[in-house]
A and B are shown apart, each in its own frame.
Chain A
Amino acid sequence: MEARGRQFRKGGKIWLLPLLAFLVGLLVLAPIGILLYQSLLSAPFFAPAKRFTLEAYRYVFHDPYFFEALKNSLMIGLGMVALAVPLGSLFAFLVVKTDLPFARWFELLLLAPIFISPIILGIGFIVAFGPSGFVSGWVASLLGGVPWTIYTVPAIAVIAGLTHVPYVYLYVASTIQNVDASLEEAARVAGAGPFRMAMTVTLPLVRPALIYSGILMLLLGFELFGLPLVLGDAKGIMVVTTYLYRLTAITGSSAYHLMAAVSIAIVSIALLLVLLQRFLLGRTEGRFVAVGTRGHRLERLPLGRLRWMWAGVLGLYLLVAVVLPILGVVLRSLVISWGPGVDLLEVLTLAHYREIFTLPNLSRAVTNTLLVASVGGLLSLVFYLFVALGIQRGQAWGRFLDYLSGIPRAVPGLVMGLAFLWVFLFVKPLAPIRETLLSLLIAYTVVWTPYGVRLLTAALLQVGREMEEAARVAGASPARAFLNGTLPLLRGGLLTAWFLLFIQFVREYSTGVYLLTSGTEVIGAQIVALWGTGAVEIIAALATIQVIIVGLVFLLASRIGVRPQGL
């Protein structure tokens, strides 16, 4: 390692790594810096009369609504942990380790919620299970009433938990796959039945994955924006992110310092969780990472007659959490009106889609989304590749880059969008960027840095250094050796990363909320903006278009063997 690092530094350009670190640092820290600066002012940063004060924090920390929102966020986060971690782990065990019927189909379908905006799923839940939803209507006609409600904090927690099961599933499944089968066989031979084996060997071995995904759930719970926006609105239930969003809507620019203070509070909590995650993972390494040399030999555990029951449980989950909400959204986009007694065939229409393609801001949202996801995704990919290379080969600089690129994990998209809006306003020469897609591209790139860098680090790890070293020995310059030796082998990994980034950029909705101007509309942010107006049909049509784009790309990607990657 040491020798390789030295080679890289001697052969490479000595200024390359510091420059990269400076650039990443600027992109990651500038938004947080401006939030911090604004939170300490008494007025917007562009106002002529302003002074340093803790007023904003004093106001926020004395606002009972803020604490209410904080409590709700915590409740929802804990609910997600309680629901998604056990279910996700159970599903992972069933799909990876047992002879569950249709396991391959479940493997694919379980990923759907990861690739669909939570806000779309939220709207889907309203359309399907809301007071006038089609499932509710059907249940009411059977039972004479609907035994559930979706507009309470526990209900939001349950829905958030259900829609986040796949994140846990993905992480635990990939870890369970790496558990050496002989460790489990040893337990069987020693006298443990399948259930006891799972509880005493498999689960303890993947404990780091469980802890990791538990904290991930808390983190995503705090950053949750779309679901509480659409589900909490009707009853005035707020979480920290919607509290921030309402602050804008209600008080306008005069609340800049308050918004900044709330943002800093959110980032601090999230940062704490990220650090906790790192700390806990660092402590458990070695004793648990059970990557077997012969782990690929996998005898699937026979479930016996119970296999159909478990398949039923998984199927029911998919029906409730994915199929019905999506079906509801698609259906809603195709009808004029909705409610009891309406004959669906009579109200079928394509008018909402016609509207999208005639209104310039809506059709721009579709084309912008595709542009940002494809071209933008590619540019981000190049950036992440440089960062990943720096981390892999930069020694001390690499570790520094590693930390820097992890920071955005603690900044929710909504907050990052707001921060970049202010950066563009604050730094005068950057002002023109604000009204171009470049603003979105920069914000998206920074928000997804931890994800993208991890994708590319993994891709780089799979390519040995020998090809490049052989090229160097044969007389190639470092850049040329990389281009000729490593890059061709990296093609598959890069393509995978591009596909996944494309999908994430398409489904992104919160980062663009504050950066939405005439000309920078994207589907996700447009849905959030339209939500206030109540144009549910248009929203449903936009959502359907997004689902179709993601679905097609996902199918294409799995055709060429792209394996998805959790957050």
Chain B
Amino acid sequence: MYEAGFKPIAQGVAHPLEVEGLEVSLGGNPILKGVSLRVVPGEIVALLGPSGSGKTTLLRAVAGLIRPTSGRIALGSEVFFDGRRGVFLPPERRNLGLVFQSYALWPHRTVFDNVAYGLRLRRIPEDRVRERVLSLLDRLGLTGLERRYPGELSGGQQQRVSLARALAYDPNLLLLDEPLSNLDAKLRDQARVWLRQTLKATGKAALFVTHDQAEAMAIADRIALLREGLVEQVGTPEELYRHPRTLFVADFLGNPNVVDALVLEVGDEFARLELSGFPVRARVMASLTPGRLAKLVLRSEDLRVATPGEVNTVEGELAHSLYLGAQYEHWLRVGDTLLRFQWKQPLVGSRIQVAFDPEKALAYPG
């Protein structure tokens, strides 16, 4: 469903973006080492990863601002890059929209002229340019700002102008590079909701880069988590959070406790481990060997103060308690490891027993 201002200029059939075995090296350093990814029409995919994982490089390669060394990028039947056949389509012929981290608004052009640039390049008649730019600005809440220069706008307004500019000429795919990172914290929370809504309303496929896992989970339909130039896992935010395939994914999403535990016995689904002298049960996420150390991932929101008689518990000494407003964050010293967890109430007494569900505790080989 298209809302006013997002109507395509010419009705075309939307195609999926396909990236296959993409390799990029910059200055002799391999940055991407064989990345494959698919984005279907109407879908928002986040490229998430720590700095240096290659997420921005992947975005720039799709945009055509970087020439990959091998692999293939195609949008439907249109091939952007094919290493084997030596095809490389320059950025201006890919018809993509790109929102830069710095917004990259041209300071010498008004808001109107910034947004109209791509339309004028496509030789759209001036009256239709005007109509489209104004309705787009209207849709993005920028009414009345068309004659301003970028320097006269707030950060949030600049960000929306930059989105308007990328949407103006009805691109086949929208790319966004850390679109919210230049907004201040409070504005960013509102902008997440707004951005997801707006992207969904356009009905376009969108690929966006972020290093902020909360932002990725809030905005994206699916997340591709990158690590050192490879895709570690692709899936919905919930899949990644609840069923992280590797320790890296589990550790990157959320801010969980990761502790060493000795594997005692391995079953089909659950294993028995020993955490600082306490026997616990946890989900087996990859092949574990009895007698070896495993990494146990315990999300802080999944730990709770144990009621009497509860199983799957550990006991420790309260080390710190931080008041965070909505709740407390308690730090428990269990043996020689620290466990962090949230709890509504302050805790009294020095010995505390916490419990967790076996299916919420994830065990990976150490």
Contact = CB atoms under 8 A, between A and B. Distances in A.
A binds B: yes
A204 interface: yes
A196 interface: yes
A189 B90 contact: no
A434 B153 CA distance: 60
B165 A190 contact: yes
Contacts of B151: 286-287
Contacts of B169: 190-191
Contact of B102 (A204, A205, A294): A294
A185 B63 CA distance: 10
B108 A189 contact: no
B121 A188 contact: no
A294 B66 CA distance: 16
B347 interface: no
Contacts of A189: 63-65, 91-92, 94, 96-98, 166, 175
B108 A204 contact: yes
A290 B98 contact: no
B118 interface: yes
A201 B97 CA distance: 17
Q: Interface size bucket, A side?
A: 20 to 34
B118 A191 contact: yes
Interface in A282-304: 286-290, 292-294, 299
B2 interface: no
B108 A185 contact: no
B117 interface: yes
Contacts of A196: 121
Contacts of A204: 106, 108
Interface in B126-171: 149, 151, 165-166, 169
Contact of A288 (B63, B65, B108, B122): B108
A185 B104 contact: yes
Contacts of B100: 182, 185-186
A175 B92 CA distance: 25
A200 B108 CA distance: 10
A191 B122 contact: yes
Given A204-B108, A205-B107, A287-B151, A188 B102 contact: no
Most chain B Cβ neighbours within 10 Å, of A180, A191, A193, A299: A191
B66 A186 contact: no
B69 interface: no
Contacts of A271: none
Interface string A152-183: 00000000000000000000000000001011
Nearest to B175: A189
A287 to B, nearest CB: 5
A205 B102 CA distance: 17
Interface string B68-98: 0000000000000000000000111111111
A288 B106 CA distance: 9
Given A185-B65, A193-B90, A193-B92, A287 B104 contact: no
A186 B101 CA distance: 11
Interface string A265-287: 00000000000000000000011
A299 B104 contact: no
Nearest to B115: A190
A205 B108 contact: yes
A402 to B, nearest CB: 25
Given A186-B105, A186-B165, 13 more contacts: A186-B104, A189-B91, A189-B92, A189-B94, A190-B121, A190-B165, A190-B169, A204-B108, A207-B108, A288-B108, A290-B107, A293-B102, A294-B101
6 contacts: A185-B65, A191-B92, A192-B121, A201-B106, A205-B107, A289-B107
Instruction: List the 9 closest A-B pairs by CB distance, nearest first.
Output: A190-B118, A182-B104, A188-B91, A186-B104, A189-B98, A191-B121, A182-B100, A191-B92, A189-B91
